[in-house]
Amino acid sequence: MSKLKKTIHVFAPASSANLGSGFDVFGLAIDGPGDYVRMERTTTGKVRICSIKGDGGRLSKVPEQNTAGVALMAFLSAIDERSGMDVYLQKKLPLGSGLGSSAASAVAAVFAANELLGRPMNKRQLVRWAAEGERVASGSVHADNIAPSMLGGITLVRSLEEEDVLSLPVPKRLHVIVVHPHVEVKTSDARKVLPTKILLKTAIQQWSNTASLVAACYNNDLALFGRSMEDLVAEPARRVLLPYYDSIKAAAIQVGALGCSISGAGPSILAITDNTKQADAIAASMKRIYKHHRIGCDIYNTKVDTKGARVIKPR
Amino acid sequence: MSKLKKTIHVFAPASSANLGSGFDVFGLAIDGPGDYVRMERTTTGKVRICSIKGDGGRLSKVPEQNTAGVALMAFLSAIDERSGMDVYLQKKLPLGSGLGSSAASAVAAVFAANELLGRPMNKRQLVRWAAEGERVASGSVHADNIAPSMLGGITLVRSLEEEDVLSLPVPKRLHVIVVHPHVEVKTSDARKVLPTKILLKTAIQQWSNTASLVAACYNNDLALFGRSMEDLVAEPARRVLLPYYDSIKAAAIQVGALGCSISGAGPSILAITDNTKQADAIAASMKRIYKHHRIGCDIYNTKVDTKGARVIKPR
């Protein structure tokens, strides 16, 4: 134990869940935004959230009410670890945005503890424990944001078992444009508008798309990737919650987006293309529409983060 | 035109649709059984079904009422071809068995005509026209048997557009065991028992499986392939139509099948494994159960046909 570090700094990237058709199963990590955690191993035997910056005072420091805290306690309990952990969380991505904010915090915390303790688990095994934090954020355990934030790249979660947390090849020229309009959509509201049942024929089309999206990743076929993002389930139900969604999507497609859909539960929107020029045009067209309607927005015109959670130098 | 052949012999393999989770979208070609067509180009301007062998007199020779006839007429019309075609069909696989019998005939006919006419289309383009024959057989256009019979291998049909008819890599050690019990299940009955709507949460699990099955093909991961065959939609509805289905599946799994599900609309059952020894054990265990219940069956203990429809020497 004496060789192990006592303090560590880590980063976990933002992520975009669903990729249209793959509701609750696909996700990708976004290069740029993310959460930072400094963690210190202690002898208190307790998880303490010592400080949270960047959340506007909205997140609880009570570990049992905080996604990072819940995930961290679940992980430590799983490995029967008695050390305490002091957590200093710095959020660099907005809450409730559809960018996997709660997931990034939980991933950063669990990954940091695993590093401090000499890596008792591999990253794929950590996904299950980080996902425990999502119970606090959304009321159920989903790993569609956890997996990409932890592993980087594009992920497919069949189950929380290590061997069912799959990484898909990232198409080489994949550009992602994520726009986050400054409007609020609660994940719980976004869940409420979903139908309990869907038509079988709709479901069949949807799973032909999820299957095709995987093939598109392996074949490096971004046109197929874009077509396969078509979402017949969540988008039709949720688009009404997102101001000007139809206009934004139409504008993105018109200037060359290969696919466009809601990022996670929204309000962020994800578009994809295969070149920088079109990525710039898509970003500009989205921004123009929100500006016209006097809605502020942040735009991430970027690529997929392929590293996932990682140790960084002290900031 | 004078260089083109006047007569051709072709073969199109049997196929197994769905592969469990991929209802209506996945299919694989089965090495061994299939249909044979001899076709002669004529100056009659008409499609004629001159003879059908191996169907027990059950199929119509009226082209408009025969899957091969309908598909062939649709294809000839699509290319604005005025030649007549005389079709001699020899069926070497049972009707209504869940082995793509009607699809193999339609594929063989369309493929043969395309060859006789100097290949105006490629195989992937032919899928759409061969699928027209399925209107006669099942009342709607499906290509989940057409695509594998035409192309060989494992296929994923997102739409009937050429670029959406996808071939997946065939895992190297994939053994398929297909048992055809001598009981009748009408495709129309098998369709009737399906629910019109399914729970969203069920659909999500199903599309995590279809997506994972594609990843399994690319990763040559037969354990994942088997797990991903899990079907939460058609199997629960259709198992009651198939005598002793639960026993057969349990027996196959017990002796090492990695996955087992209904082949197409049944009554045939498909199991997979990664080695010859277990394939033999699976075949034997299935046969034993049917024998115990005095139900005859044919067993195809084989691999995936990777060639699809092809020209053969005169038989």
pLDDT in tens, A144-203: 999 999 999 999 999 999 999 999 999 999 999 999 999 988 777 888 999 999 999 999
SS3 breakdown of chain B: % helix, strand, coil, rounded to 5? 40, 25, 35
In the residue annotation, A7 being an active-site residue is answered as no
Judge whether A215 and B166 are in contact, CB under 8 Å: yes
Percentage of chain B lying above the pLDDT 90 cut? 89
Q: How many CB pairs under 8 A join A and B?
A: 122
Angle of CA points A155, A157, A160, to nearest 5°: 130
Lowest mean pLDDT among A8-12, B142-146, B218-222: B142-146
At residue B141, the pLDDT reads 76
What's the sign of the alpha-carbon dihedral B106, B108, B111, B112? negative
ipTM of the complex: 0.96
Q: State residue B131 phi and psi, 5-degree precision.
A: -65, -25
Q: In chain A, which residue's Cα lies nearest the Cα of B208?
A: A158
- Fold of the domain built from segment(s) B175-302: Alpha-Beta Plaits (3.30.70)
Take residue A173 and report the two structure tokens written for it.
Answer: 């020229």
- The model carries a pTM of 0.96
**Hey, is the C-beta of B207 within 8 angstroms of any chain A C-beta?**
yes
Indicate whether A139 pLDDT > 80.
no
Q: What is the dihedral of CA B218, B223, B229, B231, to 10 degrees?
A: -140
CA distance B198 to B233: 8
Percentage of chain B lying above the pLDDT 70 cut? 99
Nearest CB to B22: which of A198, A209, A211?
A211
**Hey, is the C-beta of A163 within 8 angstroms of any chain B C-beta?**
yes
Q: State how far the alpha carbon of A304 is from the alpha carbons of A270, B46, B149, B222, in Å.
A: 12, 57, 38, 29
- Helix count (H) and strand count (E) of chain A? 11, 12
Q: State how far the alpha carbon of B3 is from the alpha carbons of A270, B117, B118, in Å.
A: 54, 10, 9
Lowest mean pLDDT among A52-66, A129-143, B21-35: A129-143
CA distance B158 to B160: 7
Which residue has 């590293």 as its token pair?
A: A307
Q: Is B3 helix (H, G, I), strand (E, B) or coil?
A: coil
Q: State residue A88 phi and psi, 5-degree precision.
A: -120, 110
Statement: B7-169+305-311 belongs to CATH 3.30.70.100: no
Residue A272, min C-alpha distance to chain B (Å): 19
B207 neighbourhood in chain A, CB within 8 Å: 21-23, 25, 203, 206-207, 210-211
CA distance A99 to A95: 8
Band of pLDDT at residue B85, cut at 50, 70 and 90: very high
Q: What is the dihedral of CA A28, A30, A34, A38, to 10 degrees?
A: 70
A130: nearest Cα among A113, A108, A107, A153: A107
> What one-letter code names the amino acid at B151?
L
Nearest CB to A203: which of B159, B164, B206?
B206
Domain with CATH 3.30.230.10 in chain A: 7-170+305-311
Interface test with A, best of B204, B220, B231 (most A CBs within 10 A): B204
**Hey, is the C-beta of B212 within 8 angstroms of any chain A C-beta?**
yes
At residue A1, the pLDDT reads 45
Q: If you average pLDDT over residues A40-54, what whole number do you get?
A: 96
Q: State how far the alpha carbon of A80 is from the alpha carbons of A76, A108, B136, in Å.
A: 6, 20, 63
Indicate whether B4 pLDDT > 80.
no
A308: nearest Cα among A111, A157, A70: A111
Catalytic pick among B67, B115, B132, B134: B134
B39: nearest Cα among B115, B127, B100: B115
Catalytic pick among A67, A187, A210, A273: A187
Q: How many CA atoms lie within 13 A of B76 on its CB side?
A: 25
Take residue A306 and report the two structure tokens written for it.
Answer: 């392929």
Nearest CB to B228: which of A158, A168, A224?
A158
* B160-185 residue pLDDT tens: 999 999 999 999 999 999 999 999 88
Contact at CB, A200 and B233, closer than 8 angstroms: yes
Q: Please state, as a whole number, how many other Cβ atoms lie within 10 Å of the Cβ of residue A202.
A: 16
Indicate whether B137 pLDDT > 80.
no
B108: nearest Cα among B312, B314, B309, B301: B309
* B173-224 residue pLDDT tens: 999 999 999 998 877 788 899 999 999 999 999 999 999 999 999 999 999 9
Domain with CATH 3.30.70.890 in chain A: 175-302
Contact at CB, B215 and A168, closer than 8 angstroms: yes
Judge whether B70 and B23 are in contact, CB under 8 Å: no
Residue A160, min C-alpha distance to chain B (Å): 12
In the residue annotation, B187 being an active-site residue is answered as yes
CA distance B222 to B60: 41
Which residue has 């249909």 as its token pair?
A: B35
CA distance B54 to B37: 12
**Hey, is the C-beta of B166 within 8 angstroms of any chain A C-beta?**
yes
Chain-centre distance of CA B195, in angstroms? Answer: 23
CA distance B93 to B77: 28
Indicate whether B2 pLDDT > 60.
no
At residue A4, the pLDDT reads 75
* Residue predicted with more confidence, A2 or B264: B264
Q: What is the dihedral of CA A255, A261, A264, A266, to 10 degrees?
A: 70
Q: Is B244 helix (H, G, I), strand (E, B) or coil?
A: coil
Lowest mean pLDDT among A136-140, A221-225, B225-229, B269-273: A136-140
Which helix (H) or strand (E) covers residue A33, if one does? strand A26-42
**Hey, is the C-beta of A208 within 8 angstroms of any chain B C-beta?**
yes
Identify the CATH class of A7-170+305-311.
alpha beta
Nearest CB to B199: which of A157, A197, A211?
A197
Q: What is the DSSP string of B130-181?
A: HHTTHHHHHSS---TTHHHHHH-SEEEESSSSGGGEEEEPPPTT-EEEEEEE
At residue B1, the pLDDT reads 45
**Hey, is the C-beta of A212 within 8 angstroms of any chain B C-beta?**
yes
Interface test with A, best of B208, B220, B227, B231 (most A CBs within 10 A): B208
Nearest CB to A25: which of B26, B199, B207?
B207
